[in-house]
Amino acid sequence: MKKVSVRSLVLTAGLISIAVVIDVIGSAIPLLNLSMPFGGKFFGISIIPLVFVGILFGYKHGLIAGFIYAMYNFSADYIVYLDALRVTLESWTGDVWGFDKVLLLILLDYVIPFTVIGLSSMFYSKVKTFKNVTLGFGMVVLLRLLSASLSGVILWSSSIAYAVSEVESGNADPNIATNIFEIFNGNVFAYSLGYNAIYLITTFIVSVIIMYPIYHRVIQNLSFDRSI
């Protein structure tokens, strides 16, 4: 096994930092910060640098970078609103958010969806083309969709049920989430799949469009024998 180079570690740290900066700046810019009612950014382009970590340095660097970014997201969200959200949900639905639910939240909404980004290069490692990057990225999006959909069923089903009941009683206006729930006749898994597919598909399309013109420049300037 080749030794991990200082250069790969430094560039990996730099790309993680760029991902964080893009997330912070994007969250403050109108239109770019558009999101679904219960979470999920339409233009989550901050994951692009993490995709390049996997392409340049291999799976292990990519998985570690994705995990670090997941912890950043969880920490930022917890500080900003997750604890308040927990209290609000408990008051709405009566469900107690104990350690088991918090652990599932961390795994299904943060660790798995962001860590698997490191696998975006799995097809690229065989044939180094942008088409294979896109295929790998698409596979990662499917894994994220599965994880997010399971989270929607296990953790957030009571929340959408409460939101729908509020709309039906006239206490709230319908939104895209309640409309999707109605389209699927209250099928929680179909609703969760459709809900999460919307923002993940937009993120995938926009990310591929952005990545295409910079792909060759990045590879030419930074590529070297991958350590993993």
DSSP per residue, 166-178: HHHTTSS---HHH
Q: Span 101-130, mean pLDDT?
A: 87
Q: How far apart (Å, rounded) are the C-alpha atoms in residues 132 and 126?
A: 9
Question: Is it the case that residue 102 has pLDDT exceeding 60?
Answer: yes
Least confident of 136-140, 189-193, 214-218: 214-218
At 228 the pLDDT is 45
The two structure tokens encoding residue 216: 């060759």
- The dotted CATH code for 6-222 is 1.10.1760.20
Residue 41 bridge partners (DSSP):
35
- Give the C-alpha separation, 137 to 158, whole Å: 31
pLDDT at 1 over 80: no
Q: In this predicted model, what pLDDT tens digit does every residue of 3-47 receive, in sequence order?
A: 568 888 899 999 999 999 999 999 889 888 899 988 899 999 999
Q: Does position 85 have pLDDT exceeding 90, yes or no?
A: no
Amino acid symbol at 115? T
Q: What contacts 24+ positions apart, CB below 8 Å, involve 89-95?
A: 89/158, 89/159, 92/158, 92/159, 92/162, 93/158, 93/159, 93/161, 93/162, 95/158
| Token pair belonging to 15 | 């790309």
Contacts of range 81-85, beta carbons closer than 8 Å, 24 or more positions apart: none
What's the Cα-to-Cα distance from 207 to each of 12, 31, 136, 195, rounded to whole Å?
Answer: 19, 15, 13, 19
Secondary structure (3-state) at 161: helix
Half-sphere exposure of 201 (CA within 13 A, CB side): 6
Where does the pLDDT of residue 192 fall: very low under 50, low under 70, confident under 90, or very high at 90 and above? very high
Whether residue 66 has pLDDT greater than 90: yes
What pLDDT, in 10s, does the model give residues 198-217? 999 999 999 999 999 988 78
What residues does 35 pair with on adjacent strands? 41
Which 3 state secondary structure label does DSSP give 34? Answer: coil
